[in-house]
Amino acid sequence: MDRFGLFGKLMAKEGHGEQLAAILLEASHAMKEVTGCELYVVSAAENEPDAVMVYEVWINQEAHQASLKLEATQNLIKQAKPIIAGMERISTLKPIGGKGL
């Protein structure tokens, strides 16, 4: 079974970076209950106050897709949508191991 990783960048509307980060941190706490999620890390970009980076590792791509249908995930998406100016999937990855995995 191949792990599935995502590295993404979400841009908040001007002045809403901290609010978006808080919503994504809430998502990270919800992922603790999701069996297929191995890692969900939220980071602020030092040089872009309205950018939030997310690094995720899943047991497989199907587990990630299933998580998007969860009620908790859908509620967080609804909260975040009004303040999101853009999203970029920087890379999909095939995590092979390391500290934390």
Domain assignment present for residue 101? The answer is no
**pLDDT score for 1:** 66
Separation of alpha carbons 86 and 88, rounded Å: 7
Separation of alpha carbons 50 and 44, rounded Å: 8
Domain assignment present for residue 69? The answer is yes
Domain assignment present for residue 100? The answer is no
Looking at the whole model, is its pTM more than 0.75? Answer: yes
52: left (phi over 0), alpha (psi -120 to 50) or beta: beta
Q: Which domain holds residue 35?
A: 4-93
Domain assignment present for residue 98? The answer is no
**pLDDT score for 101:** 83
**pLDDT score for 99:** 87
Domain assignment present for residue 17? The answer is yes
The pLDDT-based confidence of 60 (bands split at 50, 70, 90) is very high
Domain assignment present for residue 32? The answer is yes
How confident is the model over 1-29, as a mean pLDDT? 95
Could you tell me what percent of the chain has a pLDDT over 90? 83
Contact between residue 23 and residue 80 where contact means Cβ atoms under 8 Å apart: yes
Contacts of 30 (CB under 8 A, 6+ apart): 70, 72, 73, 76
Residue 76's CATH number: 3.30.70.100
